[in-house]
Amino acid sequence: MSQKKQSILAIFALVLLVCFDQASKLCAVFQLSPEHGGADLILWQGVFRLHYLENRGAAFGMMQGRKLFLVITTLLIVTLLCLLYVRLPKEPRFLALHWLIVFLLAGALGNFIDRMRLGYVIDFFYFELIDFPVFNVADLYVTCSVLVFVFLFLFYYKEEDLNRIWPGKEKQRKQG
């Protein structure tokens, strides 16, 4: 696949993923939020439910009320992810990383849209069995992508692969 086609496909996928995240949150608002007469939807008694929550912080409710910090951090992360996407070699060995970046960007942008538009992020998945913090589709994109990233860097990619992404690292080691 040509580099141009791959980039167009990545942008299309990014838009679809963000739209899916936003649509799921809109459904949560209309079906689960108390303002719209909604209530929790129990999918598995004592284990998993859909529960509406307005999260004004970051992951797991950390940094409540720190919107400016979270916005700046998100913009920085999105910029770095875009830079990494552009730097990655356009060959089959790195295709998984390209797609992981698309999912990470979709997660970051999905929550960024909420934060900018509403002042909070809409969360609604709740594993009550383990009292896990309430989360959303964008959080799933980020969490799953990070887990796959770690797996790939531990078991698939080698040091020479990383040196192809950031060639300067190899030169610094030789000089040091």
- Residues with a catalytic annotation lie at 123, 139
> What is the Cα Rg of the chain in Å?
19
Nearest to 50 by CA among 100, 125, 161: 125
Which strands form 48-55's sheet, in the order they lie side by side? 41-44, 48-55, 121-127
71: Cβ contacts below 8 Å, ≥ 6 apart? 112, 115, 116
Phi, psi of 88 (to 5 degrees): -65, 135
Kindly state the tokens that stand for 149: 């990233």
Which secondary structure element, helix H or strand E, spans residue 154, and what is its range?
A: helix 137-155
